[in-house]
Each structure stands twice: as structure tokens, then as C-alpha cells.
């Protein structure tokens, strides 16, 4: 169980917590991609993106 909120749980996690976890995962995925792109640009590799986009 992720939270201690009483109610109907599906798989041990309530809907608000499930949404929060998904949001955090998306943020982390975005940050990893951003860091990878930054690292590639630093090395001089073309990422196929226009600057600023």
C-alpha cells in the first residue's frame, strides 16, 4: 500500500496517489531526456532538434 487513506484500493494504491506517482515519473523522464540532450550538445553531437525547442 502506498498511502494510508481508507477506501477502495486497486493494487494497493488509491487514484490520487497513482496520479501523483505517474506525474513524478513523467517529470523524471523529461529531466533524463533533457540531461541527455544537453550532454550530447556538449559533446557536439546533433540531436536533430532546433535550438530552443
Pick left, alpha or beta for residue 3 (phi over 0 → left; psi -120 to 50 → alpha; otherwise beta).
Answer: beta
**What is the average pLDDT value for the chain, to the nearest integer?**
81
- pTM: predicted TM-score of the whole model, two decimal places: 0.61
Count of C-beta atoms within a 10 Å radius of residue 14? 19
Cell numbers standing for residue 2: 502506498
Name the band, by pLDDT with cuts 50, 70 and 90, for residue 28: very high
Residue holding cell 493494487? 11
Which pLDDT belongs to residue 45?
76
Number of alpha carbons in the 13 Å side-chain half-sphere of residue 28: 6
CA distances 30 to 7, 45, 47, Å, are: 32, 19, 15
Amino acid at each position: 500500500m502506498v498511502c494510508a487513506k481508507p477506501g477502495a484500493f486497486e493494487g494497493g494504491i488509491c487514484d490520487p496517489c497513482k496520479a501523483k506517482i505517474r506525474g513524478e515519473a513523467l517529470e523524471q523522464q523529461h529531466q533524463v531526456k533533457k540531461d541527455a540532450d544537453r550532454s550530447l550538445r556538449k559533446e557536439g553531437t546533433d540531436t536533430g532538434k532546433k535550438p530552443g525547442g
